[in-house]
Amino acid sequence: MIYSFMCDYSEGAHPVVLKAVADECGKQHGNYGIDECCDKAAALIKNSIHRSDADVHFLPGGTAVNLTVIAHALRPFEAVIAAKTGHIAVHETGAIEASGHKVVTVEGTDGKLTPKEVEDAVLFHTDEHMVRPAMVYISNSTELGTIYTKSELTALRKCCDEHGLLLMLDGARLFCALASVENDLSLADIAALTDCFYIGGTKNGALFGEALVILNDNLKTAFRFSIKQRGHLTAKGFLLGAQFEALFTDMLGLDIARHENKCAAEIANTLKDLDVPFFAPAQTNQLFPILPDVIAEKLGEDFELSIWKKYDASHSVVRLVTSWSTPQWAVDALNEKLTKLCK
Amino acid sequence: MIYSFMCDYSEGAHPVVLKAVADECGKQHGNYGIDECCDKAAALIKNSIHRSDADVHFLPGGTAVNLTVIAHALRPFEAVIAAKTGHIAVHETGAIEASGHKVVTVEGTDGKLTPKEVEDAVLFHTDEHMVRPAMVYISNSTELGTIYTKSELTALRKCCDEHGLLLMLDGARLFCALASVENDLSLADIAALTDCFYIGGTKNGALFGEALVILNDNLKTAFRFSIKQRGHLTAKGFLLGAQFEALFTDMLGLDIARHENKCAAEIANTLKDLDVPFFAPAQTNQLFPILPDVIAEKLGEDFELSIWKKYDASHSVVRLVTSWSTPQWAVDALNEKLTKLCK
Amino acid sequence: MIYSFMCDYSEGAHPVVLKAVADECGKQHGNYGIDECCDKAAALIKNSIHRSDADVHFLPGGTAVNLTVIAHALRPFEAVIAAKTGHIAVHETGAIEASGHKVVTVEGTDGKLTPKEVEDAVLFHTDEHMVRPAMVYISNSTELGTIYTKSELTALRKCCDEHGLLLMLDGARLFCALASVENDLSLADIAALTDCFYIGGTKNGALFGEALVILNDNLKTAFRFSIKQRGHLTAKGFLLGAQFEALFTDMLGLDIARHENKCAAEIANTLKDLDVPFFAPAQTNQLFPILPDVIAEKLGEDFELSIWKKYDASHSVVRLVTSWSTPQWAVDALNEKLTKLCK
Amino acid sequence: MIYSFMCDYSEGAHPVVLKAVADECGKQHGNYGIDECCDKAAALIKNSIHRSDADVHFLPGGTAVNLTVIAHALRPFEAVIAAKTGHIAVHETGAIEASGHKVVTVEGTDGKLTPKEVEDAVLFHTDEHMVRPAMVYISNSTELGTIYTKSELTALRKCCDEHGLLLMLDGARLFCALASVENDLSLADIAALTDCFYIGGTKNGALFGEALVILNDNLKTAFRFSIKQRGHLTAKGFLLGAQFEALFTDMLGLDIARHENKCAAEIANTLKDLDVPFFAPAQTNQLFPILPDVIAEKLGEDFELSIWKKYDASHSVVRLVTSWSTPQWAVDALNEKLTKLCK
């Protein structure tokens, strides 16, 4: 195996992030996220969104954030609306349902939700014999590597306001979305348009950790109780703080994401040149080319990748992901192999 | 403030553990705990208990392990028996109840359960109008710093067998228990006498992480589904593997614990010389002296500590904890201050 | 308003069932379903399916049975497969999710599941990052009034066996299914082909109550714990027993269902004569004609009915339901009005 | 066996209640509690407490009410405080925990809670590592047959207000409490002093059913969603309405309770004359005499009763309960037998 393009969490931390962790290891800190490292990281994040009123919490992983927020925010009979490709809908082993809540799924387009779909889902639920939708969950970048435009997100916010819905944004790959050449959303825009969102560290050069930003006052109350109850209150929380301080210093996080996106773009360009169609637009560090099965198999001999789904009798949607650590030689080698196979 | 004796997770990782993490950061690894680091660490652990049939899983924290195991093991109407000082009974924000299960508490002695108490709790529950106790949860070392003897643990196992109960051992501080000068239990004994137990890394020199060892075949099935569902399947699981490989190489984990216990013993000896009574026997790295409030307060001016509980109108039980990183000078300074205050 | 065809639970109990309740009111009985009335009813039911090994429990309502069985049968990470029209999928306010389990929905045809859909749903779930389907839930008659044939149910059973799935049949309207002129399934067939099923009383002439029949030994253990835990262990359980004894004496339950179906058939015939299309085949006591909105509205002035869903811009699917108590004059009046409106 | 004093739900409905049910059986009604019977019953109840703003819901049983209210009212990390003899703490198979909430138990006196105990429980819970008590649950009459005085309930209310706690009163046997010769609380007092309470029908002459009265506006919102989600929204809800209309017409419910209490008082007087001590004061229809085991056993040959608990090596606490239907001859026979055995 030459290199793995399976995912963006196969390697540890970016050297700068690792050093930040190492530098704090010998000192004594406060516990459970009440410490100077977390304070500093939270201050940097709040500054970057111009929202001194935001609450910032650091949790160890994405599923942890999703289930904690949703369990915290919803009343027992309330449901969350998600695209059927949404992480909470498929790839969290029923974590949301385990906390008691239905995930109402809608079709989505390229992994994104439209206000029309949200509205239809709300109107379908008419009375107390059905769950009550109370939140919309979106990902940016999505599970298909696509990103929301400012106008799309603004329209979703409007729809949520009209129907009394919370809007939560899963930003496990938010840095990659922000670093996309097609992006027109700032971090401050996202803060202005959502009730809460998180900024992923795990998939962007951290050892582990996500920074949850809560804007809606109703969600702020007693949130640490929920983190603890779900088992996600990291004892040495300063480790999370230190990493996010590093990611937000000189916006290292964005630099890392730009590298991921650039590597992916080079692969996407090769695929486009070879007339390979895409299952979803190539906008960030995840690519979903539709390859003949025979080529996917040959490619898999040299490069680890995942088969996203069967496309038709002889083709599959393949997922290729670049990471903070993807080297140029691996991109080149992949492109060379692709060219050889597809020509 | 001179030094904090608040807890054993105020500092990051022991240098050897940190180096192990750093060494793996640049390489590509399998995800979610399916990787060579976890394989090696699991092999070392299985070897140390002479149980090649054991299943080993690495989770990020202690509450995470407790709630995942209990939710996985019990049927909806089943309950777990714990000492009223047990971590799951008090200090996990109802995490067990949030997964649907009652924690049946019994009084306990020095944080430890007796077979008699367990049996009484079982016999109290007579029919389908009450929960059905199905598991016993113990900690070693306990939340009061005490340890189980081999004969105590053997008697509990016998009681559990007689009543069809699973026996789970919370080993968040297991290394400290094993390293206690009063300990007569081997890791292999613990594996032989429990259905599952875990070995704490977080409080013993790791950045984060606990190694869960499952011995009972019934608990093994589909356990990774439960880890994922609760949000505790660490994406970069190799980081946990690397740390436990370090802790089990030349039994570094035990060396760390011996240091913790030795520091604590020096403080305990000072306290005993000063005729300070203890709320629970001083056996590991947590000490619970009963101090006059006025002295506790003065001590608190120089050293961070926690007030465990009021003892009487003028005394409090104070908790002092040493860590992998506690320096001799801090122990000496504390002893000096104690001597000055108590004489 | 002349008459309501809204549902089959607008009236109380059939006179024979009511008399059975009244006859037991003055006597002393055992509690919580441990009594002679329940014993007798259970014996009649077990006899009717030739299964002395079955366990029979009486619960107060259909949602109560569904959530209790599913919560009892599934492990936390397991899911139940249902048609998207299934009662548990839409009309129970997330009761299944509230017990922690995902309902995996498939399209279905006329409210019925096919083995192919079940298999596809199973194969979609590949690993521990997704829930594990472990049960198939069907209704007979379905929420669209249709019934399973013996060959359809046999094929589903075979599919369930191949994939290790439990098969649960919601029989809230089972008597109507059995009484359908198109039915070829006996109660004994249903017992032979499912892991558990229930026989609805509420919608078939009882005050309230469903008889759950458990065939699979694994589901039998400790089932009364689950009934109690969910709050469905009726204190005066003998009232449920007395009603089911009445329904199974000389198969009164089937006679009631035949009346319901006959009333519905007369309405269906009128509609067919008027060339009104149906959203689902008319097989039992629930009819789903597709009516022009203007006619549905006019009809609604004299008869209560429900609008199931919009069909297109100018038509709606209307639901008409007959009950144990529907009088001939009401059927005639409805038919007359329909004829007048549709001609 | 001559007669059973096991409980107050061994017989069906009081003739007047039964007739009320029978009278409604042939008519068409609204469903799920939206009907004229429920409207009338609710109006009578609201009138009796002088609270037109109250919300009244009818549910099928006591555990159903307890778990529905508590799951509806509490946030995930919140807990309910109860006496250790409280029904939710012991005799509901962990129903509250199954909805995710811890029951914090305190000792209690004669089954009753004191403000001091409540306050101690609140103060014990200091931060987000522990659950947050948010509700106090009491029963009146209690599980030991005792009743709260107006001054006791007022003091509890004051304590709840000071600590931001909801106060819920389980009135499965509220009519008996109100009918006690020692009672000084009116139904209006109870409405004024609690956030919600319920009035038991099942144990007071109804076939089944409890009337939940919600006074606190915060608890009112969307409550029917919770009833449905837990499976307790009775399809033929008018049956519950009809029964409560009967119980509140000319206060039949109180008359029934007076009969129950009078029967019990006659037995209590006999026991007192025989110098039999009581485990708890005899105030309503449940008596808890402490009898020598040998006498309890002999008594059990003629009369069904329950052994509440062992008192000492040779004595047991026996529970004797009278019902709406207990005949004078059974009381006389029991008294005669007691006199014969104890003299």
What are the pLDDT digits (tens) for B85-127?
Answer: 999 999 999 999 999 999 999 999 999 999 999 999 999 999 9
Q: CB A13 to CB B30 under 8 A?
A: no
CB-based burial label for C301 (10 Å; 0-12, 13-18, 19+) = exposed
In this predicted structure, what is the pLDDT of residue A193?
A: 98
Say if residues B88 and B96 touch (Cβ distance below 8 Å): yes
Nearest to C21 among D12, D99, D231 (CB): D12
Residue numbers in A near B205 (CB within 8 A): none
Closest C-alpha among C301, C306, C342, C333 to residue C321: C306
**Chain A closest-CA separation from residue B25 CA (Å):** 4
In this predicted structure, what is the pLDDT of residue D223?
A: 98
In this predicted structure, what is the pLDDT of residue D343?
A: 83
CB-based burial label for C298 (10 Å; 0-12, 13-18, 19+) = middle
Element (H, E) at C250: none
Say whether pLDDT at B343 is over 90.
no
Q: Which residue has the tokens 């081999």?
A: B150
Q: Could you tell me the CA-to-CA distances from D335 to D259, D269, D331 in Å, in that order?
A: 17, 9, 6
Regions in chain C scoring below 70 on pLDDT: none
In this predicted structure, what is the pLDDT of residue B31?
A: 97
Say whether pLDDT at A31 is over 90.
yes
pLDDT range class, residue D1, cuts 50, 70, 90: confident
What is the pLDDT of chain A when averaged over all its residues? 97
D220 Cβ contact partners less than 8 Å away, ≥ 6 residues apart: D55, D214
Closest C-alpha among C185, C194, C203, C155 to residue C12: C203
Three-state SS across B7-61?
CCCCCCCCHHHHHHHHHHCCCCCCCCCCCHHHHHHHHHHHHHCCCCCCEEEEECC
Q: Cα(A281)–Cα(A278) distance, rounded to whole angstroms? A: 6
Q: Could you tell me the CA-to-CA distances from A223 to A60, A195, A245 in Å, in that order?
A: 15, 14, 22
Say whether pLDDT at D78 is over 90.
yes
Q: Could you tell me the CA-to-CA distances from C37 to C204, C220, C289, D206 in Å, in that order?
A: 19, 21, 41, 18
Instruction: For residue range C3-62, list pLDDT tens digits in order.
Output: 999 999 999 999 999 999 999 999 999 999 999 999 999 999 999 999 999 999 999 999
Residue numbers in C near A102 (CB within 8 A): 94, 97, 103
Chain C contacts in chain B segment 151-190 (CB below 8 A): none
Instruction: For residue range A298-338, list pLDDT tens digits in order.
Output: 999 999 999 999 999 999 999 999 999 999 999 999 999 99
pLDDT range class, residue D201, cuts 50, 70, 90: very high
Interface residue B71 vs chain C (CB under 8 A): yes
Nearest to B97 among D91, D100, D128 (CB): D100
Looking only at the bridges linking them, the beta strands covering B166-170 and C306-312 are unpaired
Say if residues A217 and A223 touch (Cβ distance below 8 Å): no
Residue numbers in C near A99 (CB within 8 A): 100
Q: Cα(B36)–Cα(B49) distance, rounded to whole angstroms? A: 20
**Chain A closest-CA separation from residue D53 CA (Å):** 21
Interface residue A57 vs chain D (CB under 8 A): no
Q: Cα(C55)–Cα(C33) distance, rounded to whole angstroms? A: 13
Under 8 Å CB pairs connecting chains A and C tally to 52
Closest C-alpha among D86, D137, D115, D140 to residue D283: D140
DSSP track, B170-188: E-TTHHHHHTSTT----HH
Q: CB A12 to CB B4 under 8 A?
A: no
Q: Cα(D194)–Cα(C89) distance, rounded to whole angstroms? A: 37
**Chain A closest-CA separation from residue B59 CA (Å):** 11
What value does the mean pLDDT take over residues B147-157? 98
Give the residue on D whose Cα is nearest the Cα of A101: D229
% of chain A residues with pLDDT over 90:
99
Nearest to C12 among D21, D93, D208 (CB): D21
Say whether pLDDT at B1 is over 90.
no
Residue numbers in D near C25 (CB within 8 A): 11-13, 15, 18, 207
Q: Cα(B323)–Cα(A52) distance, rounded to whole angstroms? A: 36
Q: Is the peptide bond before D325 cis (omega within 30 degrees of 0)?
A: no
Say whether pLDDT at A240 is over 90.
yes
Widest CA span in chain D: 59
What are φ and ψ of residue D233, in 5° steps? Answer: -90, 95
Strand ranges of the sheet holding D78-83, from the earlier edge strand across to the other edge: D55-59, D210-214, D196-200, D166-170, D132-139, D78-83, D103-106
Give the residue on D whose Cα is nearest the Cα of A71: D76
Say whether pLDDT at A11 is over 90.
yes
Say if residues C36 and C30 touch (Cβ distance below 8 Å): yes
DSSP 8-state assignment for residue A157: H
Under 8 Å CB pairs connecting chains A and D tally to 49
Nearest to A101 among C77, C79, C97 (CB): C97
Residues paired with B312 in a beta bridge: B315
Say if residues A72 and A223 touch (Cβ distance below 8 Å): yes
pLDDT range class, residue A1, cuts 50, 70, 90: confident
3-state helix, strand, coil in chain D (%, to 5): 45, 20, 35
Closest C-alpha among B91, C225, C189, D75 to residue A100: D75
Nearest to D27 among C11, C233, C235 (CB): C11
Instruction: For residue range A156-200, list pLDDT tens digits in order.
Output: 999 999 999 999 999 999 999 999 999 999 999 999 999 999 999
Nearest to B131 among D94, D101, D131 (CB): D94
